[in-house]
Amino acid sequence: MKTFFIMLTAASLLYGSYTSDADSQTVYDDQTDLTWEDGVNHLRAWGDAIDYCESLNIVGTGDWRLPSVNELLSIVDYNGAASAVNPAFNFLINQPHWSATTDATDSTYAWYVNFSDGYSRSFPKAVRRYVRCVRKGKLSGSQNANTATLPAIFYLLQ
Amino acid sequence: MLKLMILSLLSLLLYADAPVVKTGQTTIYKAGDDGTYRAGLNRSYSRNSYALDVVTDHATGLQWQDDANPQFMTWSAARTYCTQRNVNGTGWRLPTKRELETLVDYSQSGSAIDATFTNMAGNYTYWSSTPYRDDTTKVGVVTYHNGYSQSHKSKSDTSYVRCVK
């Protein structure tokens, strides 16, 4: 019985889940077909956050961009034990992260997602927030090994 | 063992979440922003021609209640209301916060929801099924008025309800 549920957890993590690649410091989500940057954290104003992602290059791949608010919300873990940080990520922290989506009611504001509680809020673009870049598809240079799957299970079973 | 079962089922739910749809933003405020790339599934809605109180979101595959008689009630009453709903069949439930957010049109500063929804434009907050992680007596609520906003409310408070299936 216990084995069954461990297998079920493993299966749910393997099929429709996140694959972390330690070498490239990226996480691939096969449900959304998005690859996320998972490296050292940077605090930047909104415009600088866009410039950072636009100029990012990981294992020869340069098509990174700042995620839309919907993309950023897709990695929120509403069931997390201590925060809304997705356990597949090594560097993601429980702080506000900029999205590329401007607030239509005031274009000097943009939406961020706070991985403390998983909520998005509108905030002045001049304020520095954390940055997580994204790109469409799997990185061709990454190993695609399920390196983060086991740690994620251990995290869930704690 | 119980904890393991719950975790196992939660992990299934975690990966059966709403897909990423376009935010609706098309204005480019800065090259490289959301309006530049417009990432995600195309937004597409239609009213059911047989069950007129139902709008289908073709991006997420969800059916939304959209009738002219919005119910205003506590969270637990709203849950029961959806469970008992029988319009275009049963199987209705309260939407998750993420599901409510997939309807937001981020290009709008007035009513931030597609015009196909003719009954969700008011200054209403809608219950979600997603608990607020810092206070389990509260759950997330979403508003589509003056753009989009979201907050959390005590379950014993009252809000509007829109069921989904």
pLDDT category at B76 given cuts 50, 70, 90 is very high
Q: B143 vs B46, B54, B109, B163, CA distance in Å? A: 21, 19, 12, 15
Q: For chain A, which domains are there?
A: 2-157 (3.10.100.10)
**CB within 8 Å of B76: residues ≥ 6 apart:** B155
Name the more confident of A8 and A52.
A52
pLDDT in tens, B31-60: 999 999 999 999 999 999 888 899 999 999
Least CA distance to B141: which residue of chain A?
Answer: A119
B39, A71 in Cβ contact below 8 A? yes
**In whole angstroms, what is the distance from residue A16 CA to residue A74 CA?**
13
Q: Find which of B133, B138, B141 to mutate to test the A interface (most A CBs within 10 Å of its CB).
A: B133
Please report the pLDDT score of residue B14 as a whole number: 46
Contacts of A122 in chain B (CB under 8 A): 147
CA B50 to chain A, closest CA, distance in angstroms equals 31
List of E strands, chain B: 45-47, 54-57, 63-65, 71-73, 125-131, 138-143, 149-154, 159-161
Q: Which of B5, B19, B147 sits opposite A104 (nearest CB)?
A: B147
Q: Which of B8, B22, B23 sits opposite A8 (nearest CB)?
A: B8
Please report the pLDDT score of residue A141 as a whole number: 62
pLDDT category at A81 given cuts 50, 70, 90 is confident
How does the average pLDDT of chain B come out, rounded?
89
CA B133 to chain A, closest CA, distance in angstroms equals 6
Please report the pLDDT score of residue A76 as a whole number: 93
Please report the pLDDT score of residue A154 as a whole number: 42
Q: What are the backbone angles phi and psi of residue A22, rounded to the nearest 5°?
A: -65, -35
**Amino acid letter for position B28:** I
Least CA distance to B112: which residue of chain A?
Answer: A104
**Interchain contact, A71 vs B1, CB within 8 Å:** no
Least CA distance to A7: which residue of chain B?
Answer: B8
Query: Taking residues B111-129, what's their average pLDDT?
Result: 88
pLDDT in tens, B78-90: 999 999 999 999 9
Least CA distance to A105: which residue of chain B?
Answer: B109
Query: Taking residues B15-26, what's their average pLDDT?
Result: 82
Q: In this complex, how many residue pairs, one in chain A and one in chain B, have their CB atoms less than 8 Å apart?
A: 142
pLDDT in tens, A30-77: 999 999 999 999 999 999 999 999 999 999 999 999 999 999 999 999
**Interchain contact, B8 vs A78, CB within 8 Å:** no
Query: Taking residues A19-37, what's their average pLDDT?
Result: 94
pLDDT category at B99 given cuts 50, 70, 90 is very high
Query: Taking residues A117-126, what's their average pLDDT?
Result: 95
Please report the pLDDT score of residue B134 as a whole number: 83
**CB within 8 Å of B67: residues ≥ 6 apart:** B53, B87, B119
